Structure 1
């Protein structure tokens, strides 16, 4: 008996991806394997679905009509599976999550590790990157973002908290150079700068009246990783401007001390985001709920 769904999902993936090569990458197959699936599907249907050249592909008229119906059929299957899954109490399957490097290591990963411990049938794949990944294009179920959500029209977001910037320094540095009390006292201090592509990020803070000021610090070191900046601060190279959740951890151990708390010009929202869908899989919902329950307390400085 012929499986009437054989090749349908692959066909939809090819159309959505816009190319056989990209579809193959998403499905972890070779391009030739994907091509053979489409060829068998066209042979079974007795009609050409795609006009293919070496550089492009386009749907035929019949292919467009078939694609539209396939999308609806797969959506119904997804809904049916979601209804079955909603009756389960145990999340399972593979969950792909993208997280910022430092925040991911310090805050998100521990929450997901505990989730994996509680649910042995849940397989969690965490990717650490400060790049805003395309969740749909790159096949992620969930991401944590700090800052503006530029692709919010295609995503659902759940706020996890707010990231404030604070200034700190090693006790040894403060013992040698003194504790700055006012904003003006910070000018001229040694500092560890954040840099990206060789460009130093300025230190902008709010004064006692809430007005923004740019600090004139003297950086001997510039780094593109906030965890490395914290390490340089602990080593006594100068003041550090760090997210509150990271600085407070080192303050608790005595490695750093607060110089000025929550003084950054612009706080940034932290969100969990996932692709819009009619039915949120249980594995994703459980991960989001865990982050919402744990992250706010972890970033409270």
Structure 2
């Protein structure tokens, strides 16, 4: 780019000395850059006299294109600088189905009211996506989906879980009296957990791991909820997905003295020296809105 800017300055000033002064360069540096550019192109760009220089026909043609190129580069620089300062553009976001539908999708319109220059493209899928290859700006994931160490992960919330079942199931099978008695029940298993059959429960300082079995499993929490409502068994599920069912007594807490292990919610995004303004703004907005996740 330096040689191009020198070319424009020499053409505007009409001599090497004035061009060098305007650019803060030495006369020899300006002359050398012009000679190297002419050698690279295999064409003479200037006709030189003792006091001035003027463009050749080839030089004039080349200058016009160089000016357009420099203008495009300056416009591109300005656009990127503006985007870095003010959130704008399209934000492509990958979300797990249940959390995306229940908690993230409803806040997107509010985000866009604050940042009207940002378009949001949501992809709701419980399958893991390749953020870089598929052009995503960020993804929301649970603790069990952080295997890709090349990405940057930031924890934004904790999901409280609950052990629950329908009153009809508990009436038919009898409620478990202890964590150990969960082994005698039908577990509804969430297959995206690190270990779907391992349920960790805490009471004060006491922590116990229970291995459960079951004939129903799913990779989506809302499918687990439907199985709960169909009286199919006991599930360990994020409370936010069943809080209305618990309030309406369609489902009830099991072993309420024991607290299941929480699951963290993370945002994942590609590494880089500069996080775009739109991505940073959405992460901050999402973090605030998910603070009340129970």
Residue 122 of structure 2 corresponds to residue 122 of structure 1: no
Cα gap change, 1:189 to 1:119, in 2 (>3 Å): same
Deviation at 1:87, TM superposition (A): 5.0
Q: Is the 8 A contact 1:96 1:142 kept in 2?
A: yes
Deviation at 1:164, TM superposition (A): 4.3
Over aligned residue pairs, what C-alpha RMSD do you find?
A: 3.3
Aligned partners of 2:206 and 2:255: how far apart in 1?
13
Aligned partners of 2:285 and 2:76: how far apart in 1?
24
Deviations 1:248-297 (A, max 9, x none): 34323433222146744x64321112223333322212211111101121
Residue 129 of structure 2 corresponds to residue 137 of structure 1: no
Residue 163 of structure 2 corresponds to residue 167 of structure 1: yes
2:96 is matched with 100
Aligned partners of 1:133 and 1:77: how far apart in 2?
33
Deviations 1:9-29 (A, max 9, x none): xxxxxxxxxxxxxxxxxxxxx
1:150 is matched with 147
Aligned partners of 1:141 and 1:164: how far apart in 2?
27
Q: Is the 8 A contact 2:126 2:219 kept in 1?
A: no
Unaligned runs of 5+ in 1: 5-44, 47-74
Cα gap change, 1:260 to 1:127, in 2 (>3 Å): farther
1:257 is matched with 252
Q: Which has the larger radius of gyration?
A: 2
Cα gap change, 1:153 to 1:87, in 2 (>3 Å): closer
Deviation at 1:207, TM superposition (A): 5.9
Deviation at 1:211, TM superposition (A): 3.8
Q: Indicate the SS of the match to 1:296.
A: coil
Cα gap change, 1:275 to 1:249, in 2 (>3 Å): farther
Aligned partners of 1:76 and 1:241: how far apart in 2?
56
Aligned partners of 1:278 and 1:249: how far apart in 2?
43
Q: Indicate the SS of the match to 1:213.
A: strand
Deviations 1:158-183 (A, max 9, x none): 32122344310113323444433321
Q: Is the 8 A contact 2:150 2:270 kept in 1?
A: no
How many residue pairs match? The answer is: 221
Q: Is the 8 A contact 1:82 1:279 kept in 2?
A: no
Q: Indicate the SS of the match to 2:225.
A: helix
Cα gap change, 1:110 to 1:78, in 2 (>3 Å): farther
Q: Is the 8 A contact 1:202 1:215 kept in 2?
A: yes
Residue 157 of structure 2 corresponds to residue 193 of structure 1: no
Q: Is the 8 A contact 1:194 1:225 kept in 2?
A: yes
Deviations 1:23-51 (A, max 9, x none): xxxxxxxxxxxxxxxxxxxxxx99xxxxx
2:82 is matched with 84
